Structure 1
Amino acid sequence: MSEPFSLLMAVYRGDHPVHFQKAFTSSVAGQTRRPDQVVLVQDGPVSPGLEGAIEHALADSPAPVLHHRIERNVGLADALAQGLRLSDHDIVARMDADDISLPERFAAQLPAIEGGLDLVGTGMLEFLDDDGSIVGRRVPRTGQAEIERYARFHDPFSHPTVVYRRSAVEHAGGYRPLGLMEDYWLFARMIHAGARVGNLAEPLVMYRVGDGAYARRGGRAQWRSELALQRAFRRIGFTTRGQYLRNVAVRGGYRFVPEPVRKAAYRRFIARGERARRSTRIAR
């Protein structure tokens, strides 16, 4: 039986009006299975241009929109926590304000949740800001056991693609601020708490890659967030001591390599994922 679901989006002053409009439209009017409610959290003051784009989206939305304004910028984790509490439905789909949902996204994901999963993500296509050309493909790990194994070293979900049950998120403690790692921290706690998880390998979201995308993955701020995350994993018993040391050395060291090297390593990782996906399909 089909269940109603909410779409949860957060927007802040750094978002581009045109990008937001495309993200909103593609995830609401552009879906073959549309959300029954949109919860749009405005995280602090925004520019006049973005304010206008929000008003336009609300006026044209085919689904009812709850526009929740936060007076000052509180960060993504707190903004999403507030939005989650305002969602009318147990099933909640996430979307970022600068990406694009493909038309069949929710029609493909909702049956997996209705069939028993607590959290399901999808693959993604990466596209450039300037001309829209596809430059990469993220192929996620699939299957409960493989996702649980992989989660000890890498985030097994792409946050803009996930649909989850609010009850499972709340059971794991909900969104909690943790530097730049709020999503990975949440998903790890959900897995640790026994959530039933899965991924659809198909790319159902287009992820915008703009200037500085690889620079943001490095530096001292990212390293501090990484260290805090790994300590949190160890504290709750999500990783072993050996896994903790490996993660700090490998994932932490990655934050300090030069940006061109970081970009090349990331691209190679994506290519390996795509080859592995093809090999699995052939083996079947």
Structure 2
Amino acid sequence: MTEPFSLLLPVYRGDDPRHFSKAFASSVLEQSRRPDQVVLVQDGPVGDELAAAIRASAEASPVAVVHHVISENVGLAQALTVGLSLSDHDIVARMDADDISLPERFALQLPRIESGLDLVGTGMFEFLDDVGSIVGRRVPRTGQAEIERYSRFHDPFSHPTVVYRRSAVERAGGYRPLGLMEDYWLFARMIHTGARVDNLPEPLVMYRVGAGAYARRGGREQWRSELALQRELRRLGFTSPAQYARNVGVRGVYRFVPEPIRKVAYRRFIAGGAPDRGAPERGAAG
């Protein structure tokens, strides 16, 4: 039996209006199975051009749009918590304001949720500003046992790809601010509290990467967030003492190696794939 679902899309002043418009259209108008509600959470004030893009998208939407404005920027974790509270449906799909959903994304993900899973992610294509410039492919782990094993060392889901049950998110305690690691922290707690999870290996989201993408994965701020996450995972009992020590050592080195080395390590050990010959041609994603 099919169930209705909400699309949760946060936006803030740093988002590009053109990218937002494409993200919205790809996740609503261009989907073979459209959401039944869009929850658009505006995290603080935005510029005139982005505000106009938000209004135009909401007015053109064939489904109901809840546009909630938070008066000041509160960060992603709190914005998503607000968005979940405004969602009419238990099933919620995540989307970021600068990525692109491929047309069959929800048609493929929703049946897996409806069959009894609590969280389903997908693979992703990484692309530059030109949609045809595919630079990589993230291939996620699949199967409950493998995801649980992998989650002790790495985030097993790509946040912009996930569809989950709000009830499972709430059972795990919801989003909690944790530097730049709030998604991993949530997914670990969901697994720890018994959520039934899986990934579709197919790339169903196109993830926009810029020139500074690998630089942002390193540095002291990322390391502080990483260390805070590892301490929380250990305190929860999600990782063993040996796993904690391994993660702090290996991931600490990763945060401070030169950017070219970090890029190679990410592509080989974390993303799980390389540019794929099955990637869509220029313009195929919209």
State the TM-score bracket (shorter-chain normalisation): over 0.9
How is 1:7-46 mapped onto 2 (pairs within 5 angstroms)? Answer: 7-46=7-46
**Aligned equivalents of 2:92 and 2:234: distance in 1?**
29
Q: Is the 8 A contact 2:140 2:271 kept in 1?
A: no
Q: Is the 8 A contact 1:37 1:63 kept in 2?
A: yes
Moved more, 252-261 or 158-167: 252-261
**Aligned equivalents of 1:49 and 1:196: distance in 2?**
41
Unaligned runs of 5+ in 1: 276-284
Shift in CA distance, 131/196, structure 1 to aligned 2, threshold 3 Å: closer
**Who is 1:80 aligned against?**
80
Query: Normalising by structure 1, what TM-score?
Result: 0.95
Q: Is the 8 A contact 1:95 1:161 kept in 2?
A: yes
Q: Is the 8 A contact 2:39 2:65 kept in 1?
A: yes
**Who is 1:278 aligned against?**
none
**Who is 2:278 aligned against?**
none
**Shift of residue 132, structure 1, vs aligned partner:** 3.6
Q: Secondary structure at the match of 2:50?
A: helix
Paired letter, 1:242:
A
Query: RMSD of aligned C-alpha atoms?
Result: 1.2
Query: Normalising by structure 2, what TM-score?
Result: 0.94
Q: Secondary structure at the match of 1:217?
A: coil
Paired letter, 1:56:
A
**Who is 1:269 aligned against?**
269
**Who is 1:195 aligned against?**
195
Paired letter, 2:91:
I
**Shift of residue 57, structure 1, vs aligned partner:** 0.4
**Aligned equivalents of 1:271 and 1:247: distance in 2?**
17
**Aligned equivalents of 2:99 and 2:156: distance in 1?**
19
**Shift of residue 129, structure 1, vs aligned partner:** 1.6
**Who is 2:258 aligned against?**
258
Q: Is the 8 A contact 1:137 1:270 kept in 2?
A: no
**Who is 2:164 aligned against?**
164
How is 1:1-284 mapped onto 2 (pairs within 5 angstroms)? Answer: 1-130=1-130, 132-269=132-269, 272-273=272-273
C-alpha deviations, 1:59-115, integer Å up to 9, x for none?
Answer: 101110000000000000000000001100000000000000000000000000000
**Aligned equivalents of 1:271 and 1:23: distance in 2?**
22
Q: Secondary structure at the match of 1:216?
A: coil
C-alpha deviations, 1:115-161, integer Å up to 9, x for none?
Answer: 00000000000001246410100000000000000000000000000
Q: Is the 8 A contact 1:128 1:209 kept in 2?
A: yes
Percent of counterpart pairs with the same letter?
79
| Equivalences, count | 275
**Aligned equivalents of 2:132 and 2:202: distance in 1?**
19
**Who is 1:279 aligned against?**
none
**Aligned equivalents of 1:274 and 1:118: distance in 2?**
29
Paired letter, 2:48:
P
**Shift of residue 269, structure 1, vs aligned partner:** 2.7
Q: Is the 8 A contact 1:118 1:197 kept in 2?
A: yes
C-alpha deviations, 1:13-42, integer Å up to 9, x for none?
Answer: 110000000000000001000000000000
Unaligned runs of 5+ in 2: 276-286
Moved more, 95-104 or 256-265: 256-265
Q: Secondary structure at the match of 1:212?
A: coil
Q: Secondary structure at the match of 1:264?
A: helix
**Aligned equivalents of 1:179 and 1:272: distance in 2?**
25
Q: Which runs of 4+ in 1 moved over 3 A?
A: 270-275
Paired letter, 1:171:
R
**Aligned equivalents of 1:219 and 1:272: distance in 2?**
23
